[in-house]
């Protein structure tokens, strides 16, 4: 690309290269910070079409990281030069997915956020490592021109990709209609049925199926095909939500049985699913889908490895964990050392509460001897800060959070070292 400013001196070029090499190791952390703040911009532009969809939010953050890496690596190779933006296949797919939902993406606001945060971090590095005032001025002058021009060129390239996607997306109308229905737009049931060729005046269950890695798109489509084949007794509607996710609605005269979906997903290592509560008619179509999106977002937010999640089972946990730091405090203040104790005693206490404080039923559920369950429940209650007889709801909720996201307790709980790590303690269980 044509350079629009003089090239830096050798000294300034060396300094820019060294700074970029240092910051290249921080790209994941910087992307996370940018992503959290940029979510507000996404909410203002696209809500409710984008933000509830964890797959698209992840794709947006991947795009942020790719842009950051492109500028840093280009300045390692050719410091201070104009950087050519790169819209790769994954970014192009993401833009196409936005367009298919009736969204005309404009990335200027996102870039404004990223540029402000990135420039602040760049200033900190420059001031910390450029001790010569004259060198500092030259590095800041050249890098400012490079970074601002890169932002302008990137927004232009992304807009061109959006126009190309809008011209070439044959399925955009149907996907955009589904998006409108899902987001609560006032659409009549007859119109939606006619356009989608899918009966709405019956029971529905919304399913979100997704893969964490875009390279697993084939496995994702295999799962979708298997779900369609296994649902021959009812109707199936499938929409390509993004490069890494598919939206599915299953319907029938009665609420569809989803055990076959869970079995199909269990056979494919890299694909996961979230399902909503059953609903009827257009409102049920919408609400079940929103449930499934909420379950997916919770799993992604908590970094959970859970493969199959029914929103009806985790609605309380979703409410508790919207702020992971608050959820961590809730777990540690409720359970104390029990949060890092052996999983077997935590599971015994949770099952005991879920079985209505009936030891015999809990033992049957856990396939364990009644005396073993009694010992584990007693030990768990000793370790827990809040005792189960005092507040069983809080104890059960905290245990459920740990069951879904076992790594949420990142720091060691005082006194927990002897709870789960002591071999002698484990023998007593």
CATH of region 10-169, choose from 1.10.3470, 2.30.29, 1.10.490, 3.40.50: 1.10.490
| Domains in the chain: boundaries | 10-169, 180-318, 323-427
* Amino acid 361: pLDDT: 94
What confidence score (pLDDT) does residue 59 get?
80
In terms of Cβ atoms closer than 10 Å to its own Cβ (0-12, 13-18, 19+), residue 222 is middle
**Residue 297 CB contacts under 8 Å (≥ 6 apart), including other chains:** 52, 53, 54
Quick one: 180-318 is in which CATH superfamily? Reverse transcriptase/Diguanylate cyclase domain (3.30.70.270)
pLDDT tens digits, one per residue of 64-75: 888 888 889 999
Stretch 391-400: mean pLDDT: 92
pLDDT on residue 172: 57
pLDDT, residue 144, reads 92
Long-range own/partner contacts, residues 128-131 (CB < 8 A, 24 or more apart): 129/15, 129/18, 129/19, 129/22, 130/15
Residue 326 contacts residue 334 (beta carbons within 8 Å): no
Can you give the pLDDT at residue 420?
A: 41
**% the chain with pLDDT above 90:** 32
Q: Any idea which residue has 């190779």 for tokens?
A: 77
- In the CATH scheme, what is the code of domain 323-427? 1.10.10
42 pLDDT more than 60: no
Position 427 pLDDT exceeds 70: no
- Give me the chain's average pLDDT, please: 82
Predicted local confidence at residue 24, as pLDDT:
84
Q: How confident is the model at residue 293 (pLDDT cuts 50, 70, 90)?
A: very high
C-alpha distances out from residue 67 to 71, 159, 192, 206, 330, Å: 6, 15, 39, 34, 37
Q: Give the whole-angstrom CA distance, residue 362 versus residue 117.
A: 52
Instruction: Give the pairing of strands 271-275 and 203-211.
Output: antiparallel
């Amino acid at each position: 690309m044509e350079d629009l400013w003089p090239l830096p001196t050798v000294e300034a070029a060396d300094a820019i290269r060294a700074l970029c090499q240092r910051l290249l190791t921080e790209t994941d952390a910087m992307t996370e910070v940018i992503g959290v703040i940029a979510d507000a911009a996404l909410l203002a532009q696209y809500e409710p079409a984008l933000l509830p969809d964890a797959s698209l939010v992840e794709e947006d953050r991947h795009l942020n990281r790719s842009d950051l890496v492109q500028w840093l690596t280009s300045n390692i190779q050719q410091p201070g030069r104009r950087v050519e933006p790169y819209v790769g296949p994954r970014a192009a797919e993401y833009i196409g997915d936005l367009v298919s939902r009736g969204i005309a993406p404009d990335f200027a606001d996102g870039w404004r956020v990223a540029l402000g945060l990135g420039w602040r971090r760049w200033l900190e590095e420059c001031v910390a490592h450029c001790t010569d005032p004259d060198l500092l001025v030259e590095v800041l002058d050249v890098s400012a021109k490079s970074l601002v021009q890169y932002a302008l060129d990137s927004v232009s390239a992304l807009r061109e990709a959006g126009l190309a996607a809008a011209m070439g997306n044959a399925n955009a109308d149907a996907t955009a209609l589904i998006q409108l229905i899902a987001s609560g737009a006032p659409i009549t049931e007859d119109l939606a049925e006619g356009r989608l060729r899918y009966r709405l005046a019956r029971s529905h269950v919304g399913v979100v199926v997704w893969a964490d890695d875009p390279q697993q798109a084939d496995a994702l489509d295999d799962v979708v095909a298997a779900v369609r084949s296994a649902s021959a007794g009812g109707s199936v509607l499938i929409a390509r939500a993004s490069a890494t996710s598919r939206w599915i609605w299953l319907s029938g005269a009665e609420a569809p049985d989803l055990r076959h979906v869970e079995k199909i997903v269990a056979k494919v290592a890299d694909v996961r699913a979230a399902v909503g509560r059953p609903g009827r008619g257009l409102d049920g179509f919408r609400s079940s889908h929103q449930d499934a999106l909420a379950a997916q977002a919770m799993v992604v937010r908590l970094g959970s490895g859970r493969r199959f999640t029914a929103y009806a089972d985790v609605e309380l946990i979703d409410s508790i964990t919207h702020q992971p730091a608050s959820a961590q405090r809730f777990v540690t203040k409720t359970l104390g050392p029990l949060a890092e104790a052996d999983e077997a005693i935590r599971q015994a206490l949770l099952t005991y509460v879920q079985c209505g404080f009936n030891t015999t039923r809990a033992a049957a559920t856990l396939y364990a001897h009644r005396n073993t369950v009694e010992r584990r429940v007693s030990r768990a209650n000793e370790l827990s800060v809040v005792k189960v007889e005092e507040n069983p709801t809080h104890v059960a909720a905290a245990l459920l959070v740990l069951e879904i996201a076992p790594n949420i307790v990142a720091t060691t709980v005082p006194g927990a070292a002897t709870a789960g790590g002591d071999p002698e303690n484990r023998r007593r269980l």
